[in-house]
Amino acid sequence: MKIEGQAALVTGGASGLGEATARELARLGAKVAVLDRNAALAEKVAAEIGGVACACACDITDTDSVTAALDKAAAAHGPARILMNVAGIGSAKRIVGKDGNPAPLEDFVRVVNINLIGGYNMARLFAARCAKLDALDNGEKGVMLFTASVAAFDGQVGQQAYSASKGGLVGMTLPMARDLAQHAIRVCTVAPGLFATPLLLELPEAVQHSLAASIPFPPRLGQPSEFAELACHIVTNGHLNGEVIRLDGALRMAPR
């Protein structure tokens, strides 16, 4: 799908990989809605982005909140054909803590609820609207992307919740692409390795260097712009569908 002129939604668009994706989409001429639960930061990014952009306060786990955000974005830009699901949270919790106590179940539920169920919630509400649109000249109606993680495949100590949530996105990519084939909507997932977003950039420099050195090539953190480039390529390459793409410099995470 040609990006120029299309209305696009980016969850988690207020920071990190989502912000870079929102900026790249705008650079390529999309009308971008920045969806994030951090409304103030979403406003700031939308204002800075150049081109056509609007900010929508949105909690992806809350159907009313998503519906309101989709309505607001559609009123500003028309119906969206591109959904970039980038919002997510991290977590680290051993199943049996150093104190011998079981990990709190609420932590597992919270991570799966945001990363997996929130992603599905966005996808289903977007897809139902997109399916009603007329197909473009190339036969497509829409395209969406999920953001998993290499932790879906090689999760580290303490990453059960995070890996389960990202593994869930990986697992649902193909069946969702199959479901949505009849509606001419493509679905792909990117599984990033280690990227220079606020999360990692807040770590001490020595830790950042050692993380970067663990990447075979190039031995540096990924740039959010590299994620954004792939996200936009998935939109433009009409034959990419039902696939999970690792973007990790050949990184395979060690147990810890």
Q: Which residues bind ligand NAD (CB under 6 A)?
A: 11-12, 14-18, 36-38, 58-61, 86-90, 114, 118, 147, 149, 192, 194-195, 197-200
> Known catalytic residue: 120?
no
The candidate with the shortest Cα–Cα distance to 89, out of 57, 120, 59, 115, is: 115
> What minimum distance in Å lies between the beta carbon of 205 and ligand NAD?
16
Evaluate whether 158 touches 93 at the Cβ level (below 8 Å): yes
Residue 179 CA to residue 185 CA, distance in Å, equals 9
- Nearest residue (CB) to ligand NAD, 151 versus 184: 151
> What minimum distance in Å lies between the beta carbon of 237 and ligand NAD?
21
- Nearest residue (CB) to ligand NAD, 79 versus 90: 90
The separation between CA 129 and the C-alpha centre of its own chain, rounded to angstroms, equals 19
- Nearest residue (CB) to ligand NAD, 42 versus 184: 42
Contacts of 168 (CB under 8 A, 6+ apart): 112, 115, 116
Residue ranges with strand state E in 163-243 = 185-192
The candidate with the shortest Cα–Cα distance to 145, out of 229, 48, 252, 58, is: 229
> What minimum distance in Å lies between the beta carbon of 101 and ligand NAD?
26
Phi, psi of 59 (to 5 degrees): -105, 115
Phi, psi of 7 (to 5 degrees): -90, 130
> What minimum distance in Å lies between the beta carbon of 21 and ligand NAD?
9
Catalytic position from the list 108, 126, 146, 162: 162
- Nearest residue (CB) to ligand NAD, 29 versus 171: 171
Known catalytic residues are 162
